[in-house]
């Protein structure tokens, strides 16, 4: 994709439509400031996907949905269910914090959140906050924060059933029941997705030439009850488990490996209005990330990594007066690791306190926050953020902000068992960042738009360093990075079509070598167009991503690509809805990452090949929502 094409699409879109009322309504968001507020008041650039967006877009996975967000690069090692990395504003994949109902999902062993295993059927809403939020959330929020909210019940009783079938022998079924009254609401759901899949790699040796399938079982439960006008509480449970097959690419006698996964969270909260100007919220959480890799043909592929996290938070919101608000909070969590490898440490805790003040005056607003973290492994860390928003003219706002962030070293970085050639480094310090950002946000000519320019400087980046004499490798704080870019989002009606466009320009640099950081697309664009036609609806998606490098030395380049998808639906009756979608209509052959394969048993040289991504695929579904 040429830059000129990106600029043309951005320039042309607002002028295509005649005057029309905006199709979007102002949603409430909670992730940017850890409290409910209108999206227009959030100081961080925020993208929101509601349940109706998930259904309208017919999202096949969470990464599929998030790929539409400006500044997001998704890298999969061979389609749905394969290892997936998300780079937000050029930050490393473990430098973006992922929450499910307020509970941290990032695994303590790798630092990654296994987004590829989450089912869209269990999701009510997703908020993507772009930019550092460590002053509120602590570690891992350098690139931003992604929060996933599970489905919630509404008044009445609404059962649901969905059946789907499609390419690659894909079969999906889900059912659920939600309901409630003036005091209680609940949602209960379960789903099963199975697909024979396709060959994720170009390696045809032994068992590597077969199709790599995926099986995922999902369950969710949410319950909330209002005990009185001043007191309410609730809980939520989410469990995703199954098996994902992959190829044994580095062995000369390929086996038949698969990963048996389990990703689950449990959250409970109690919220009270203690006084007219003081509300308090207590949150408890538990999360598990289990990965059990097994291969009946190759014992070297048998290993497991299971991490567990318990957490608690106490949030207090004080409305000092009509213009001033104070947020006071305490956070605690403890990580535990269970694996068949002999780690020197398998537990650590983190405790924190934070405060954030907000002032909203006539034509301007300010935000100032500070957080102190104390970690059992690396000691103390202070982070702060500041923001100033100015109303320039009617419906045009300028927002200037500064934020600090840090990423805590993982168990793998710190304590991986020492062998003859590799070992963890318990003396690692956290990676630290500083971000400067300017945003323009407006609502003009029935177009809601935002433009963000940012610069992030990251120090003490962790990299694996090898001794040239002994060949022993270990992680060390050696690198620095500079991440800077532009992001644009537009929402409006275009000749009756609902249009949502996101575009980004990114320059992620290693400051020591001057090279581009690997696996980040420098340019990206996503455009969704949807329109109802009475009982029918149609939509298209066009996405384009520039080329990227697969290695830090910038010697292996992956070509850019563009994808076209289409969808349609038919509301057969009040209770029955047919939907069909076709992804990658043009059957584009593309890769998002490379893998290496040795040429001989002595590993004197290797070749590099691209992981296969899905070609043209289709899915037909029927949803039944009976009226009770």
Residue 628: band (very low, low, confident or very high) from pLDDT cuts 50, 70, 90: confident
* pLDDT mean across residues, the chain: 92
- Number of separate domains in the chain: 1
DSSP assignment of 257-268 equals -EEEEEEEEEEE
pLDDT digits (tens, 9 = 90+) for 271-293: 999 999 999 999 999 999 999 99
- Phi, psi of 229, rounded to the nearest 5 degrees: -65, -25
- Dihedral Cα 248, 251, 256, 260, nearest 10 deg: -50
Count of residues for the chain?
628
The pLDDT value given to residue 601: 62
CATH of the domain at 354: 2.40.170.20
pLDDT digits (tens, 9 = 90+) for 418-464: 887 899 999 999 999 999 999 999 999 889 999 999 999 999 999 88
The pLDDT value given to residue 604: 64
pLDDT digits (tens, 9 = 90+) for 134-156: 999 999 999 999 999 999 998 89
Residue 6: band (very low, low, confident or very high) from pLDDT cuts 50, 70, 90: very low
pLDDT digits (tens, 9 = 90+) for 528-546: 999 999 999 999 999 999 9
pLDDT digits (tens, 9 = 90+) for 517-532: 999 999 999 999 999 9
Looking at per-residue pLDDT, the higher value among 167 and 21 belongs to: 167
Range of the domain at 442: 3-624
40 contacts 29 by C-beta, under 8 angstroms: no
The pLDDT value given to residue 416: 92
Residue 16: band (very low, low, confident or very high) from pLDDT cuts 50, 70, 90: very low
Q: Is the pLDDT of residue 20 over 50?
A: no
In what helix (H) or strand (E) does residue 7 lie, and over which residues does it extend? helix 3-12
Instruction: Give me the mean pLDDT over the 254-267 stretch.
Output: 93
Burial class (CB in 10 A: 0-12, 13-18, 19+), 240: buried
Give the C-alpha separation, 368 to 388, whole Å.
9
Q: Is the pLDDT of residue 183 over 80?
A: yes
- Which three-class secondary structure state does DSSP give residue 403? strand
pLDDT digits (tens, 9 = 90+) for 474-496: 999 988 999 999 999 999 999 99
């Amino acid at each position: 994709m040429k830059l000129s094409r990106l600029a043309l699409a951005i320039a042309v879109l607002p002028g295509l439509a005649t005057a029309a009322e905006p199709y979007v309504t102002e949603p409430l968001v909670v992730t940017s400031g850890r409290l409910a507020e209108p999206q227009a008041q959030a100081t961080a650039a925020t993208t929101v996907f509601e349940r109706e967006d998930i259904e309208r877009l017919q999202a096949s996975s969470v990464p599929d949905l998030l790929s539409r967000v400006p500044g997001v690069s998704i890298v999969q090692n061979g389609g749905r269910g394969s290892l997936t990395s998300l780079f937000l504003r050029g930050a490393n994949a473990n430098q973006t914090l992922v929450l499910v109902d307020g509970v941290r999902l990032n695994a303590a062993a790798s630092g990654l959140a296994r987004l590829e295993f989450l089912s869209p059927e269990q999701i009510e809403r997703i908020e993507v906050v772009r930019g550092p939020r460590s002053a509120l959330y602590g570690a891992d929020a350098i690139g931003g924060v992604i929060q996933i909210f599970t489905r919630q019940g509404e008044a009445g009783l609404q059962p649901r059933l969905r059946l789907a079938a499609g390419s690659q022998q894909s079969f999906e079924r889900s059912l659920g029941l939600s309901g409630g009254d003036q005091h209680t609401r609940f949602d209960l759901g379960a789903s099963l997705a199975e697909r024979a899949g396709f060959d994720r790699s170009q390696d045809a040796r032994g068992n590597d030439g077969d199709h790599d399938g995926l099986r995922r079982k999902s369950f969710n439960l949410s319950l909330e009850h209002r005990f009185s006008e001043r007191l309410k509480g609730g809980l939520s449970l989410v469990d995703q488990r199954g098996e994902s097959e992959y190829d044994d690419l580095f062995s000369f006698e390929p086996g038949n490996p698969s990963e048996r996964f389990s990703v689950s969270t449990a959250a409970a909260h109690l919220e009270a209005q203690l006084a007219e100007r003081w509300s308090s919220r207590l949150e408890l959480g538990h999360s598990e990330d289990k990965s059990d890799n097994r291969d009946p043909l190759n014992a070297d592929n048998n290993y497991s990594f299971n991490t567990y996290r318990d957490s608690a938070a106490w949030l207090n919101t004080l409305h000092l007066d009509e213009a001033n608000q104070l947020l006071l909070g305490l956070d605690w969590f403890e990580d535990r690791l269970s694996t068949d490898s002999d780690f020197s440490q398998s537990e650590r805790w983190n405790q924190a306190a934070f405060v954030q003040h907000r002032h909203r005056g006539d034509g301007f607003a300010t935000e100032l926050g500070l957080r102190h973290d104390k970690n059992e492994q690396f000691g103390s860390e202070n982070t702060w953020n500041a923001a100033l928003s100015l109303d320039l003219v009617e419906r045009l706002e300028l927002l200037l902000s500064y934020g600090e962030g840090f990423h805590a070293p993982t168990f793998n970085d710190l304590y991986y068992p020492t062998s003859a050639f590799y070992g963890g480094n318990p003396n690692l310090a956290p990676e630290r960042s500083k971000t400067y950002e300017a945003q323009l946000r407006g609502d003009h000519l029935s177009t809601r738009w935002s433009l963000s320019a940012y610069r992030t400087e990251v120090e003490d980046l962790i990299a694996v360093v090898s001794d040239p004499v002994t060949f022993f490798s270990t992680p060390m704080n050696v690198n620095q990075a500079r991440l800077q870019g532009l992001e644009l989002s537009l929402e409006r009606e275009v000749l009756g079509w609902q249009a949502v466009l996101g575009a980004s320009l990114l320059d992620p640099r290693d400051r020591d070598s001057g090279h581009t950081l690997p696996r980040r697309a420098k340019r990206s664009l996503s455009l969704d167009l949807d329109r109802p036609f009475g009982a029918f609806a149609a939509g298209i998606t066009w996405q384009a991503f520039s080329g990227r490098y697969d290695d830090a030395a910038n010697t292996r380049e992956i070509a850019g690509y563009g994808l076209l998808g289409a969808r349609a639906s038919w509301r057969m009756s009040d209770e029955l809805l047919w939907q069909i979608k076709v992804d990658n209509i043009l059957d584009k052959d593309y890769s998002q990452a490379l893998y290496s394969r040795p040429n001989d048993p002595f590993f004197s040289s290797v070749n590099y090949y691209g992981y296969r991504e899905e070609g043209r695929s289709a899915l037909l579904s029927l949803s039944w929502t009976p009226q009770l």
